Amino acid sequence: MNAISLNARASSNFEEKLAHTRNLLQQAAQEFARDPGATRPALTLACSLGAEDMVLAHLVNTLALDIDIFVLETGKLHAQTLQLLSQLQATSRAPVHIYAPVPQAAQAFVEREGEDAMYKSIVLRKSCCQVRKMEPLERALAGKKAWITGLRREQSGARADVPFVDRSDALRAKLNPLSDWTWGDVWHFIASNDIAYNPLHDAFFPSIGCEPCTRAVAAGEDFRAGRWWWESSDTKECGLHVKPQLGESAPVAASAQTNLREGQVKDSSESGRSHDEAAKDCGPHARRVIPIAEVA
Ligand code: SF4
């Protein structure tokens, strides 16, 4: 069995979800249009080459939106992931930009802490993520008005309230168009559209990161159990995904500006960070929650 035969099960309201996702992307491309004379789009897709991001890359390309794609090539990706990256570069209508760590910084870190530093302590693991992910991410997002991710609420407890639109970062909005998709929806769409995907998914890697920090999961294990599996569940965070602590900021009401279906918008009023189990992530995602999606 492969990942498609194992997982492709569309929700009963999948077509409604898909229409909402397409609508959100189209409206976002209008709201976050590039300025006159700009050489690159102002809206970008963060592509990890996982299943969700391949779905989004397909939608960006088929909708012919003015959105580019970036990949963080950490220098620690699986060979299968690099092969899929080459395939995406060769077939994508949208430009695919690769951001790698600063070579001197990566080399200095390895010489100082060792190739296996990530296993020695959480501090060193996060330092590795800082050099190989966070710093390149800053460059990838420089000058962007908004970015798109494949976060889904179903992926983990930390993501249970992922909004469609997150405005918690004053610098740029973050869009999560697959927020309400199930894993079955993702694979149904991949199968229906013959989208290329990482063969590691066929080997029980639902969430794929760097090779030293990702393993296959067993039946019944959490979706992200294979990420930094040696760490205790309350420390699995490296900066790409953070969330405010409870009570730190009250939800703020917003007026409905669009006819987008249910969703949540977040703004910049929160600054907290959580390192609980929910934060088993590795990217900057801080947020305030507003019960409405307002892309346009
Ligand atoms: S996921 Fe692992 S190898 Fe990749 S940057 Fe973080 S610590 Fe380093």
Domain locations along the chain? 3-279
Could you tell me which of 91, 55, 57 has the C-alpha nearest to residue 71?
Answer: 57
pTM of the model: 0.83
Residue 184, pLDDT above cutoff 70: yes
**Ligand 1 atom nearest residue 117's Cα:** 7
Could you tell me which of 76, 80, 28 has the C-alpha nearest to residue 51?
Answer: 80
Cα diameter, the chain: 54
Could you tell me which of 114, 145, 123 has the C-alpha nearest to residue 40?
Answer: 145
How far apart CA 109 and CA 199 sit, in angstroms, is: 30
pLDDT at position 96 is 98
**From ligand 1's centre to the CA of 27, what distance in Å?**
34
How far apart CA 88 and CA 295 sit, in angstroms, is: 27
> 208 CB less than 6 Å from ligand 1?
no
**From ligand 1's centre to the CA of 234, what distance in Å?**
17
Q: Which of the four pLDDT bands, split at 50, 70 and 90, describes residue 228?
A: confident
Residue of 107, 118, 282 best suited for mutating to test ligand 1, as the one with most atoms within 8 Å of CB: 118
Q: 276 φ, ψ to 5°? A: -80, -175
Spell out the CATH class of 3-279.
alpha beta
pLDDT at position 233 is 67
> 140 CB less than 6 Å from ligand 1?
no
In terms of average pLDDT, the best of 90-94, 166-170, 286-290 is: 90-94
> 227 CB less than 6 Å from ligand 1?
no
**From ligand 1's centre to the CA of 140, what distance in Å?**
18
pLDDT at position 282 is 54
CA-CA-CA-CA dihedral for 66, 67, 68, 72, to nearest 10: 170
**From ligand 1's centre to the CA of 83, what distance in Å?**
19
Residue of 238, 240, 241 best suited for mutating to test ligand 1, as the one with most atoms within 8 Å of CB: 238
Q: Which pLDDT tens digit goes with each residue over 117-168?
A: 999 999 999 999 999 999 999 999 999 999 999 999 998 787 889 999 999 9
Q: What percent of the chain has pLDDT over 90?
A: 69
Residue 267, pLDDT above cutoff 50: no
Could you tell me which of 60, 81, 76 has the C-alpha nearest to residue 197?
Answer: 81
Q: Which pLDDT tens digit goes with each residue over 6-55?
A: 999 999 999 999 999 999 999 999 999 999 999 999 999 999 999 999 99
pLDDT at position 287 is 39
